[in-house]
Structure 1
Amino acid sequence: MNKSSEADYADSIYIFYGTYIGVIFILGLFQNSVTLYVFIRDKRLHKFHNYFIVALAIADVGMCLCGHWMVVVSALYHRWVFARQGCVIYGFSTTFFGLSQISLLASIAFDRYLIIVRPHGLRFTTKTACILVAVCYIYGCVWAMFPAIGWSSYQLEGLLVRCAINWQSKTPFDLSFSLSVMVLGWMLPLFVIIFSYGGLFNRLRIDKRRQLLKRHRNKSKRHKNEGRMAITVLLMIGAFFISWTPYSVATLVAAFGPKDKVPTFLTVLPAIFAKSSIIWNPIIYVARHSLFRKSLSEHIPCLFCFGAKKSLCANRTNERHSDLTTNRREDISGNRISMNMARVKETFV
């Protein structure tokens, strides 16, 4: 491969990378902004369980506004163009919002565990939910701040158009941070999630067995809703971990494996996969939450019809048209009755 073909190959990689991140940026910002708008407008969704969903959407929007666009611009120039300060800002924001999200997902899983497994024990309230959301954000902020003030650092990685924690440093000081953030920032929330859902599904299995023994096949509406919400949360958690696990494995290899043994493309591909995590939560929530879909159709009907089937939109349009026609007919018939009554009165007078 000659130099010109190598240059064309490198250009195509940067163009693909920048285009991909740009699409994720637009979709993620739009979807999560719509999610926040619907939750703010509809008071039926103002339940403390949904505060965690709102916090996740805020983190996704923050990751878009504080990071993704910088990668797109740098990919166009084939280099990082925001100097050292921009590298620190980007690394801090992605680390902060990423660790906050996994902490929030662990909190949601534990909330589901308390509701289904321990219904008569500790329960979340609006106050405790707000406090826990704040704690998750503070937890992520603290870990993101350490590299900015000297415990490890934020450095360019991959195609050199984005910044992250300096995973490749082999000094004991930097390795201590890499190990700490992996254990306390990643594995600890993962343990909480596994513990919560292990107990949750065990409880659901026991309840199902009891229902079969008692021949009570019809579940209560509350029980069905709790089980459905548990599956929704599990899908959100699964999407997050599927997106971020390849990148986590790559960083572990870079941190504790042989130096300079990780090819560049093995760090680029997991990072590309991880960036897509911001688009999955709104899709899962729209697909699984009937009240949210109803609220979306009420507050943003054009978006609902755009994403729905044509037949459904046509039926909605026909229903509205028929309602208007019925109202007009009722008004006309009412006017005719009034005129006939007036004529009858005139006749008797």
Structure 2
Amino acid sequence: MDTRMFSGQDGLNYSFNLSDEQELLDTPAYRGRLSPTGFTVLSVVLGFIMTFGFLNNFVVLLLFCKFKKLRTPVNMLLLNISVSDMLVCLFGTTLSFASSVRGKWLLGRSGCSWYGFINSCFGIVSLISLVILAYDRYSTLTVYNKRGPSYRKPLLAVGGSWLYSLLWTVPPLLGWSSYGIEGAGTSCSVSWTVRTAQSHAYIICLFTFCLGLPVLVMVYCYGRLLWAVKQVGKCHNNVLN
């Protein structure tokens, strides 16, 4: 369509939108597009993940609301994981599914930034919640605690997981790295292929503080738990013998 059909501000806005979309489509990630059959398979897989992921986590939320016995402090962390996963299916996977059906990204650069942000944010929330849950199990079984169960720490942990996630997912929206199209051209994430010092620094920090350290903490906690269980088993065997 010729921009001469538009006049004044409308024409200027159309030109900017057109160049913005073309810049997005010219990225290396988008040029590696799938075949029509590949997009069909991808749509089916994403549709399955979106539907059953949302329903399963929604059922968890309903059970938590219906049965008071499930509202324990430790289950607050499990509920936080279910909520973040459900939000990914609702606000993230739906966009990728619709784009896969059409065979291209549908929402332009702004939508791409939104998709990358929410998927990164909710994903980090789930990961940090798993880390806190691992530490809670470790401290419960290995550290003697006279106090009864309290909701204060789990609620602080839930709020902390969201704040920590926002700390690392908002910067690309403000200029420290960016979110861009990836994979088959129907989803977006951190711009891994951008070769700038700022982008490299962000990616290193993201991997270190949102993947490396959390995984190390979980490995340490569950490793200590496994060691404690083995020690209890040895003591039990010695008593029996």
Shift in Å at residue 75 of structure 1? 0.9
Q: 4+ residue stretches of structure 1 with deviation over 6 A? A: 121-124
Shift in Å at residue 104 of structure 1? 0.4
> In the alignment, which of 138, 142, 150 is matched to residue 125 of structure 1?
150
What is the alpha-carbon distance in structure 1 between the residues aligned to residue 183 and residue 215 of structure 2? 26
Task: Give unpaired runs (5+ residues) of structure 1.
Answer: 1-8, 217-349
CA-to-partner distance for each residue in 1:170-212, whole Å, 9 max, x for gaps?
A: 2111000000000001111111101111111111111111111
Verify: 1:89 aligned to 2:118, yes or no: no
Give the equivalent residue in structure 2 for 1:176.
201
What is the alpha-carbon distance in structure 2 between the residues aligned to residue 123 and residue 177 of structure 1? 41
Shift in Å at residue 214 of structure 1? 1.0
Q: Structure 1's 200 and 151: CA in aligned 2 closer, same or farther, altered over 3 A?
A: same
CA-to-partner distance for each residue in 1:130-186, whole Å, 9 max, x for gaps?
A: 001110111112211111111100000111110000011121110000000000011
What is the alpha-carbon distance in structure 1 between the residues aligned to residue 199 and residue 192 of structure 2? 8
Give the equivalent residue in structure 1 for 2:90.
65
| 1:104–1:133 CA contact under 8 A, matched in 2 | yes
**Aligned residues: CA RMSD:** 1.5
TM-score, with length taken from structure 2? 0.83
Verify: 1:55 aligned to 2:80, yes or no: yes
Q: Structure 1's 121 and 173: CA in aligned 2 closer, same or farther, altered over 3 A?
A: farther
Matches within 5 A, 1:336-347: none
| 1:154–1:163 CA contact under 8 A, matched in 2 | yes
> In the alignment, which of 126, 143, 149 is matched to residue 174 of structure 2?
149
Q: Provide the secondary structure at the position in 1 that maps to 2:170.
A: helix
Give the equivalent residue in structure 2 for 1:43.
68
Shift in Å at residue 13 of structure 1? 0.4
Q: Provide the secondary structure at the position in 2 that maps to 1:152.
A: coil
| 1:63–1:97 CA contact under 8 A, matched in 2 | yes
What is the alpha-carbon distance in structure 2 between the residues aligned to residue 87 and residue 164 of structure 1? 8
Shift in Å at residue 88 of structure 1? 1.1
**Could you tell me which amino acid in structure 2 is paired with residue 150 of structure 1?**
G
Give the equivalent residue in structure 2 for 1:213.
238
Q: Provide the secondary structure at the position in 2 that maps to 1:155.
A: strand
CA-to-partner distance for each residue in 1:281-311, whole Å, 9 max, x for gaps?
A: xxxxxxxxxxxxxxxxxxxxxxxxxxxxxxx
**Could you tell me which amino acid in structure 1 is paired with residue 151 of structure 2?**
T
Verify: 1:167 aligned to 2:192, yes or no: yes
What is the alpha-carbon distance in structure 1 between the residues aligned to residue 39 and residue 73 of structure 2? 43
**Could you tell me which amino acid in structure 2 is paired with residue 100 of structure 1?**
V
Verify: 1:109 aligned to 2:134, yes or no: yes
Q: Provide the secondary structure at the position in 1 that maps to 2:105.
A: coil
What is the alpha-carbon distance in structure 1 between the residues aligned to residue 56 and residue 183 of structure 2? 28
Q: Indicate the structure with greater helix content.
A: 1
Q: Provide the secondary structure at the position in 1 that maps to 2:35.
A: helix
> In the alignment, which of 132, 147, 159 is matched to residue 134 of structure 1?
159
Q: Structure 1's 44 and 122: CA in aligned 2 closer, same or farther, altered over 3 A?
A: closer
**Could you tell me which amino acid in structure 2 is paired with residue 175 of structure 1?**
H
What is the alpha-carbon distance in structure 2 between the residues aligned to residue 184 and residue 209 of structure 1? 37
TM-score, with length taken from structure 1? 0.58
> In the alignment, which of 99, 109, 112 is matched to residue 74 of structure 1?
99
Q: Provide the secondary structure at the position in 2 that maps to 1:107.
A: helix
Percent of residue pairs bearing the same amino acid type: 24
Shift in Å at residue 121 of structure 1? 7.6
The count of aligned residue pairs is 208
**Could you tell me which amino acid in structure 1 is paired with residue 214 of structure 2?**
P
**Could you tell me which amino acid in structure 2 is paired with residue 99 of structure 1?**
I
> In the alignment, which of 188, 196, 209 is matched to residue 221 of structure 2?
196
> In the alignment, which of 51, 54, 58 is matched to residue 29 of structure 1?
54
**Could you tell me which amino acid in structure 1 is paired with residue 145 of structure 2?**
H
What is the alpha-carbon distance in structure 1 between the residues aligned to residue 149 and residue 216 of structure 2? 20
CA-to-partner distance for each residue in 1:91-120, whole Å, 9 max, x for gaps?
A: 010000111111000000000001111133
> In the alignment, which of 195, 210, 224 is matched to residue 185 of structure 1?
210
Which structure has the larger Rg?
1
Higher relative CO (CA 8 A, sep ≥ 6), structure 1 or 2?
A: 2
| 1:79–1:161 CA contact under 8 A, matched in 2 | yes
